Structure 1
Amino acid sequence: MTQNEQAAGPRMIAISSGKGGVGKSTVTANIAVAMADSGLSVGIVDADVYGPSIPGILGIASDKPAMTPEQKVIPAEAHGVKVISMAMLTDDDKPAILRGPMVTKYLQMFVRQVEWGALDVLLLDLPPGTGDIQLTLAQAFPLSGAVVVSTPQDVSLKIARRGLRMMEQVNVPILGVIENMSGFTCPSCATVTHIFHQGGGEAIAHELGVDFLGKVPLDPDVVDCGDSGRPLVEAAPVSPAADAYRRIAAALAQTGDASAGIATPFAWSLADGSGKPAPAQTGTGGRADRLVALDHEDGGLILRWADGLEQRLAERDLRLACACAQCRDEVTSAQLLDPESVPLDLGITRVWSVGNYALGLAFSDGHDTGIYTFKALRAMQGTELEDV
């Protein structure tokens, strides 16, 4: 890892799917164990709060977490992988009946209030879909990238495409597509039967311009191993499915470079300079929408982007550009904020990261509810410092 990655913590990789039933949690558990077997320090956050299954797959469903003297949760550990899950906090047959704010609270705790130790990779096993949990994680944490798991059937691939687009909209890099349940090999005659069609995962990866990480064949042992709490990569290490998991794990171990932008999360107080993010070490030439340096001087916010563009955005202009519900109509986008009510000498007091895709800004007039996406910031008509 680079110095920037070490300072920012482990690479956080989200494992997602557009729909349920595609084997996402089984894939997550097996690639985590494969990574651990290769020498990496790995953790899993079972972010499927309503339907947690990772502990059962790894054989630690009955483990209840303990607390450190500093009141941090000690994660369970199995097969070399550290795990935290709602299944460890509730009884086996007790449903998690939670509204959105409580789900957010638990997700924050699973990442920030757990004694993970020194991790190389933290895998986030997301629930299916593109809802509140996915958006919460994208906004609250610096995801290094996301992986989409799909089966080859058309309906699964169409929904997987939506999941990919959702991650792109919140600036989470797409590390690739995994095609699960890609074909069944008859143990008697070795004939491969493509029960759910074939090649769809690779086709959608090519169509969207992302990596195809591999295909995992159907294997009855996957079910048996999941039920017994022993992952396939350990129970049947020479099977085709186990080999596919290891190949995918090796590919992911080389991706998700968090040093492509400024280290996040950060909360920068302009009053005393505390929390200011260090600039990225990658210089220029990266993705245009990747913020690599942030500064403040002469009444303006200075932003430098990966393609070399530098902007100076005036503080009052940023306040007037706020698109929150207090400042703009949510339906018509008409401005509700009266420009005459914004003082000419208004300043920024705090800046903080919102996932990988936006900044939050607080101003001297007390306003602090706006989220400024990188796309919106780049579109603002500020001063391009490279032309000065």
Structure 2
Amino acid sequence: MSSTTPQSDSDQAGHLAHLGRMIAISSGKGGVGKSTVAANMAVTLARQGLRVGVVDADLYGPSIPGMLGIPGDTPPAMSPERKVIPAEAHGVKVISMAMLSGDDKPAVLRGPMVTKYLQMFITQVEWGELDFLLLDLPPGTGDIQLTLAQAFPLTGAIVVSTPQDVSLKIARRGLRMLEQVSVPILGIVENMSGFTCPSCGEVTHIFHQGGGAKIAESLGVPFLGAIPLDPAIVDSGDSGAPLVTSAPQSPAAQAYDAIATALTGAADQGGGLRVPFDWHIGDGTGKPAAASPAPGGAPDRPVALDYRAEGLRIGWQDGTEQVISARDLRLSCRCAACRDEMSGAALLNPETVSLDIVPTRIWSVGNYAIGIAFSDGHSSGIYTFTALRALETPEAEDV
């Protein structure tokens, strides 16, 4: 796999730590209330004293500003460092295409422009120090989801669905896509789980009951909670005053609070290397802190990295330990300069790789790979965790 901008990957790894835990709010299909969940979750976390930002990553149908009462007709200001200053409401910082295009102007964007805007929303915004950066994704499994999953070190994702069988089946596909790019699934939220009568408060299950919990159990991911269908949610979203502030004692607001508490716990559990990191091996700066293996853990999720004379030492979540020599790492590079992208045939002549080659820098690439720069100047390869685990090397001790 090749990287078009390897230097920016490593630079990015070292300059995103101030964004805290980056969590994607995802859904397989539209109309399940994902943005409403994202807006209320952000405000709930802020009310708990956390520093929260929201990226409205639904470039084609941005809705977060309206739900938080942020005017969409005033372009954001720029800082002296030429970064965009995000809007702020209810203690939450926000950036959205709605602030750049207005209510009536459609965002007509091809793939490269989508990537450009997403990069800008995350790296060119004056976020300050955050505890959480929530990414409100558009529905589906397209360019935006893949760009975020592959380019940024997501702490994890929550998947929003309704109790309908069709919605749950599509949510399952979206969840599988996130798993394929090694984004941890922090849990499933069942939205519109029942209708709350505004007069008596009784909950009637219009669609189905318990579908979210069942699919979470079948997929082996946490069920974060269910949010009832309350007319006040719609009214509060339209007025720009989220339900958790306008009716904090309502059953739905209480559900948001419980989900936010569960989410912070799930995000804290980790289970792998803390990303992003940019490890300069020569002086040891930026080396990622090791996590602990977990019984039954994933075989392709690293929990420890170290480098010694014999090579790169990797501890995996399932307890397995592995050593890969620096030369073997260099020879296994699959970037376009080292492998033919069509046939997979090797282009790199092993005789040109020195026996004493060493890695000089290792950085995280999303949640699924690392980039490595070598002493021969080569730095364009991306090494997926799956590919590293598959390399035939002897096991090591005491990682």
Residues 83-162 of structure 1 aligned to structure 2 (within 5 Å): 83-162=94-173
2:82 aligns with 71
Distance 2:251 2:390 in 1: 49
Aligned residue pairs, count: 380
Tell whether 2:233 aligns with 1:219.
no
3-state SS of 1:210 partner: coil
Are the counterparts in 1 of residues 18 and 128 from structure 2 also a CA contact under 8 Å?
Answer: no
1:33 aligns with 43
2:315 aligns with 304
Distance 2:193 2:287 in 1: 44
Residue among 169, 181, 185 paired with 2:196: 185
Are the counterparts in 1 of residues 46 and 92 from structure 2 also a CA contact under 8 Å?
Answer: yes
Are the counterparts in 2 of residues 219 and 241 from structure 1 also a CA contact under 8 Å?
Answer: yes
1:266 to partner: Cα distance: 2.9
Please identify, of 369-378 and 72-81, the stretch whose mean Cα deviation from structure 2 is larger: 369-378
Q: Could you list the runs of 5+ residues in structure 2 that have no partner in the other structure? A: 1-15
Please identify, of 37-46 and 287-296, the stretch whose mean Cα deviation from structure 2 is larger: 287-296
Q: C-alpha offsets along residues 263-319 of structure 1, whole Å, 9 cap, x if unaligned?
A: 42233455x547542322x34447443323333333632323344433221233223
Q: Could you list the runs of 5+ residues in structure 1 that have no partner in the other structure? A: 1-5
Return closer, same or farther for 1:309/1:156 CA change in 2, 3 Å cut-off.
same
* Partner amino acid, structure 2, of 1:147: I
Q: C-alpha offsets along residues 240-276 of structure 1, whole Å, 9 cap, x if unaligned?
A: 2122111111211222127643342233455x54754
Residue among 267, 273, 282 paired with 1:262: 273
Tell whether 2:330 aligns with 1:319.
yes
3-state SS of 1:296 partner: strand
Distance 2:228 2:138 in 1: 22
Are the counterparts in 2 of residues 75 and 84 from structure 1 also a CA contact under 8 Å?
Answer: yes
* Partner amino acid, structure 2, of 1:57: M
1:3 aligns with none
Are the counterparts in 1 of residues 52 and 92 from structure 2 also a CA contact under 8 Å?
Answer: yes
Distance 1:350 1:258 in 2: 27
TM-score scaled to structure 1, two decimals?
A: 0.88
Return closer, same or farther for 1:132/1:342 CA change in 2, 3 Å cut-off.
farther
Are the counterparts in 2 of residues 263 and 277 from structure 1 also a CA contact under 8 Å?
Answer: no
1:10 aligns with 20
Distance 1:258 1:199 in 2: 25
Larger RCO (CA under 8 A, 6+ residues apart) = 2
3-state SS of 1:93 partner: coil
Are the counterparts in 2 of residues 291 and 303 from structure 1 also a CA contact under 8 Å?
Answer: yes
Residue among 162, 166, 175 paired with 2:177: 166
Are the counterparts in 1 of residues 19 and 133 from structure 2 also a CA contact under 8 Å?
Answer: no
Distance 1:255 1:175 in 2: 6
Are the counterparts in 1 of residues 18 and 129 from structure 2 also a CA contact under 8 Å?
Answer: no
1:129 to partner: Cα distance: 1.2
Return closer, same or farther for 1:347/1:365 CA change in 2, 3 Å cut-off.
same
What value does the CA root-mean-square deviation take over the aligned residues?
2.7
1:370 to partner: Cα distance: 3.1
3-state SS of 1:130 partner: coil
TM-score scaled to structure 2, two decimals?
A: 0.85
Return closer, same or farther for 1:373/1:67 CA change in 2, 3 Å cut-off.
same
Q: C-alpha offsets along residues 214-256 of structure 1, whole Å, 9 cap, x if unaligned?
A: 1111122222211111111112222221221111112112221
Return closer, same or farther for 1:189/1:284 CA change in 2, 3 Å cut-off.
closer
Residue among 59, 81, 101 paired with 2:69: 59
3-state SS of 1:18 partner: coil
Are the counterparts in 2 of residues 11 and 258 from structure 1 also a CA contact under 8 Å?
Answer: no
Residue among 298, 301, 306 paired with 1:290: 301
